[in-house]
Amino acid sequence: MMEDKREMERLKSRLGAESYKKLIRIDNPELHHFIAKYVELCNPDMVFVSTDSPQDIQYIRTEAIRAAEEHELAVAGHTVHFDGYYDQARDKSNTKFLLPQGVNLGTGMNAMDREEGLKEIHDIMRDIMRGHQLYVRFFCLGPLKSEFSITAVQLTDSGYVAHSEDLLYRQGYEEFVRLGQSARYFKFVHSAGELDDRKTSMNIDKRRIYIDLESETVYSANTQYGGNTIGLKKLAMRTAINRASREGWLNEHMFIMGVHGPSNRVTYFTGAFPSLCGKTSTSMLPGETIVGDDIAYLRQKNGRIRAVNPERGIFGIIRGVNSIDDPSIWAILHSPGEIIFSNVLVTAEETPYWLGSNEDPPQKGINHSGEWQHGKKDADGNDITPSHPNARFTLDMHLLNNLDPNIDNPDGVVIDGIIYGGRDSDTKVPVEQSFNWVHGVITMGAALESETTAATLGKEGERKLNPMSNLDFLSIPIAKYIENHLAFGHITNPPCIFSVNYFLRDTAGNFTNAKIDKAAWLKWMELRTHQEVEAIETPTGLIPKYDDLKRLFREVLNKDYTREEYIKQFTVRVAENLAKLERVEQFYRTKVPDTPAIVFTVFEEQRQRLIKAREEQGDYIEPDTHA
């Protein structure tokens, strides 16, 4: 007791009267001890405890600019942040789980001994905040006062990180006050470390992102890039997936959107897509409404699956955003409002330029490499692009004109459809429904593949298996993850499961559909969840009838849809589907110990359907010829 009193006295002296008063309003001694521990270890010059008040939030935005972590741009509310030249993406090699002896997460998980990792990260963080200001932040992952939600405390010495989280997450100080000692919160400790003249992290060789699942704490040091530092995003996914597995719910890498059907009906879908496969463009389709673009918490309630978005903002890749394909986002990014641009090019007019916009590229400006001009190369002789390919924008979703009114509903939204999408040039049809929950989880979710592109991801056409588009963030064995999904559908009314593929090509290498066609596929899926259109059964799933798509293309897109297009898109490619089954099954047999037996049973059933269909109708089965 005496030691606790001394600790609080030391904490009071470090925080100052005002911040200490804010902290002790939260009746949670464990939280106080956590903060005291890392104030002593990291040793900042100042500590600022932030409440939910507009004044505290504005203070952090002002400090980010004062400390030159952000710079104001020409449009009111817009700022720009630059990460270090070699600190532009998630550091996968140094992102590790800290596991006690005897705990194994399975193949492919980057892990190390817990005690060894804690010693290393604490050594790195000793005095790391000297000369910096520490911000103590409180957030809520999910709507306030909701059984879905998780409170979180973030300690960071980066004004940019603290400001970003104000835009991305719901303020949680009052939730901590309300919950007091009953709060079960995630903990995050981050320091950008020693900074150079551009206020970017210097000691990249000591960049570490360690996740301690036992205490649900994430440590991040010597980095500023959002994916390594904004702990409540993908880093929190690891702790949340682990907690969800223990408690019987799901944390998924999915958007949540409302699809608007007949008679003003709104049907909610979630969707999982690997990068560059159409996830954002689907969730932002004109005429529909968005609940979330990236992460979903799903729970079973009264025989249905409901979902919430743990975030309230978007930390989006800005490359390729243009006025033609993304009119809503484009308009927002050019209008007054609180937006952080990161690693774009800043022109002489103090406006941002990014790769893939439909504006003429400037010849010079300021970017992540410093002063930039066309033809500039780095130390290795590589061309430096005007903006970084992974440049981002951060904004509060309340800037969107298509925000769904249920964004903050504490009960979430009922999910009637789940979509899995990948980049597939030669196998899967544009849209297909599974026969049932188990078939969908296994052949569409667990078997989700995507092809790389030559321009961005390495060797063109290389297929990567990414179960439920969540492989990078799993904190449980893959086999357990699939078991959880299979069990999750044991309810009265499980959602329909669909797959989509916007990248199917014909024999000449041309795409078989236009980018905007996804709007028609989505409307068909909405009708299927209400059993208002029939479908054709194929060996791999249920596909649309031509007449239904013809009508939807006219109603939704005001364009003709020919039978020739339909046949080209929805012909079942038997050999390619069999090859996919072989690839995916080989992965689970060789890389995933303890794969549930039902996975191989479902694969074999699909294989036999395909073989039988080939014997009767050949390798290419047109949609109108299915028995």
The residues annotated as belonging to the active site are 277
Specify whether the CB–CB gap between 549 and 528 falls below 8 A: no
**How are beta strands 71-72 and 150-156 bridged, if at all?**
unpaired
DSSP state letter for 147: T
Specify whether the CB–CB gap between 230 and 160 falls below 8 A: no
**Which residue, 255, 161, 177, 192, is CA-closest to 42?**
192
Burial of 620 (0-12, 13-18, 19+ CB in 10 A): middle
Lookup result for tokens 């089954």:
581
**Which residue, 191, 163, 211, 451, is CA-closest to 315?**
163
Residue 600, SS3?
Answer: helix
Specify whether the CB–CB gap between 413 and 366 falls below 8 A: no
Q: How many CB atoms lie within 10 A of CB 554?
A: 13
Angle, helices 478-488 vs 234-247, to 10°: value is: 60
Rg from Cα positions in the chain: 25
CA distance 265 to 430: 24
Both structure tokens of 285: 């389709």
* CA distance readout (Å), 35 to 115, 218, 360: 20, 14, 49
CA distance 127 to 448: 45
Q: Give the torsion through C-alpha atoms of 119, 124, 130, 134, to 10 deg.
A: -70
DSSP state letter for 205: G
CA distance 320 to 392: 11
Specify whether the CB–CB gap between 303 and 493 falls below 8 A: yes
CA distance 48 to 137: 9
CA distance 297 to 232: 13
Both structure tokens of 479: 């086999």
Specify whether the CB–CB gap between 291 and 131 falls below 8 A: no
* Strand arrangement, sheet containing 370-373: 352-353, 345-346, 364-367, 370-373
Both structure tokens of 214: 């036992």
**Which residue, 48, 77, 46, 73, is CA-closest to 60?**
48
